[in-house]
Amino acid sequence: MWLLLASGCRRRLGRALGAWGPRSGRSGPGAPPAAGLCDPQRSPSRQTSDAPRNQPASAEFVARSVGVCSMMRLPIQASPEGLDAAFVGVPLDIGTSNRPGARFGPRRIREESVMLRSANPSTGALPFQFLMVADLGDVNVNLYNLQDSCRLIQEAYQKIVAAGCVPLTLGGDHTITYPILQAMAKKHGPVGLLHVDAHTDTADKALGEKLYHGTPFRRCVDEGLLDCKRVVQIGIRGSSMTLDPYRYNRNQGFRVVLAEDCWMKSLVPLMGEVRQQMGGKPIYISFDIDALDPAYAPGTGTPEIAGLTPSQALEIIRGCQGLNVVGCDLVEVSPLYDPSGNTALLAANLLFEMLCILPKVKVV
């Protein structure tokens, strides 16, 4: 049945579904649009400008409930070779301090991403015309050992970055950004950081442990992974143990933008300032879904009231157009607290927006 469906759709779509074309790495007239993660076949060489690129399947021809669950129903590829950008899942949540469940975030985000389409008419971005994109599946983490998980993540991302592929990560709790930035720094040196979050994540330790989802950026500072004069944190809020909880961050040179400074206003002017601050050097975007008000994104582990709105989230990401973005992540989606799926749907859309602002994507 699958072969008949794939063959019939291919006849109707032809090159429109690049996922089934020669760049997909499949062979034969009835090959499905996604290879397994352990597919041993040879990885393709880097895409030429006139060759067909992968495209999300159109619901006009392929029902949204059909097919292997991948981000935007893109092909699943075992290797980053030949890709300009890739979606990567990191299903880890043993670094959480409150409600668990972010290990299921990548899967749920992929499920909700069936609603996404290939063009962004609001910005004029057509990412799949300029980028070869696939889903690289999930990093195999160790759910019994956080340190070992970080090692596995770092090793996986070193391979992705070395291949010239920009990773867009589906988290997973915020601990994962630390090993990702370790891999980034090996290629790019210290990077700028746009960190959108309710929390600064610069604690030193908790329960005697120096590694959990409240410490990743403290560890990054310790290791010199960040260009601290180009770190901006937006959406920060909530109660604390002291009246000056942001002293450490500001002492490092971070710009901390509190949520109350964002209330009831457009963030377009702020992002103009951020672009000036970041310049043309490499920048990484780390977006914790709890930056948004829990009215919009309840499915997360450490919600804080009075957060950002979805429209402000779009202004932040779209405001990065033209920057040298070398990687992005969307973390802390916990489907256990997201019965409607709205949090995961929002996360999927934000990841698509991140794809649309990557440097090679031209706005038409």
The count of other CB atoms within 10 Å of the CB of residue 298 is 18
- Catalogue all structural domains in the chain, each as residue range(s) with its CATH number: 83-357 (3.40.800.10)
pLDDT in tens, 275-309: 999 999 999 999 999 999 999 999 999 999 999 99
Question: In Å, how far are 20, 161, 195 from 329, measured between CA atoms?
Answer: 27, 14, 10
199 has binding-site annotation: yes
The answer on pLDDT for 85 being more than 50 is: yes
The answer on pLDDT for 42 being more than 70 is: no
188 has binding-site annotation: no
Mean pLDDT, residues 49-68:
89
The count of other CB atoms within 10 Å of the CB of residue 127 is 23
Can you read off the two tokens belonging to residue 128? Answer: 């799949």
The answer on pLDDT for 356 being more than 60 is: yes
Query: Who wins on pLDDT, 50 or 58?
Result: 58
In this prediction, residue 49 carries a pLDDT of: 58
93 has binding-site annotation: no
The answer on pLDDT for 46 being more than 60 is: no
Q: Is the peptide bond before 14 cis (omega within 30 degrees of 0)?
A: no
pLDDT in tens, 98-148: 999 999 999 999 999 999 999 999 999 999 999 999 999 999 999 999 999
d(C-alpha 271, C-alpha 277), whole Å: 10
Which residues, other chains included, contact 233 with Cβ-Cβ below 8 Å and sequence gap of 6+?
195, 196, 197, 200, 249, 254, 255, 256, 257
Can you read off the two tokens belonging to residue 196? Answer: 């959108």
201 has binding-site annotation: yes
pLDDT in tens, 229-255: 999 999 999 999 999 999 999 999 999
197 has binding-site annotation: yes
d(C-alpha 55, C-alpha 74), whole Å: 7
Mean pLDDT, residues 23-47:
39
135 has binding-site annotation: no
d(C-alpha 334, C-alpha 102), whole Å: 4
Contact 124, 134 (CB under 8 A): no
DSSP reduced 3-state for 361: coil
Quote the mean pLDDT of the chain: 89
Mean pLDDT, residues 335-351:
98
DSSP reduced 3-state for 300: strand
For residue 90, what is the enclosing H or E element? strand 85-90
pTM of the full structure = 0.88
Mean pLDDT, residues 159-179:
98
d(C-alpha 50, C-alpha 45), whole Å: 14
In this prediction, residue 278 carries a pLDDT of: 98
Q: How confident is the model at residue 51 (pLDDT cuts 50, 70, 90)?
A: confident
In this prediction, residue 38 carries a pLDDT of: 37
- Helix crossing, 342-356 with 105-112: angle to 10°? 80
Contact 103, 91 (CB under 8 A): yes
For residue 119, what is the enclosing H or E element? none
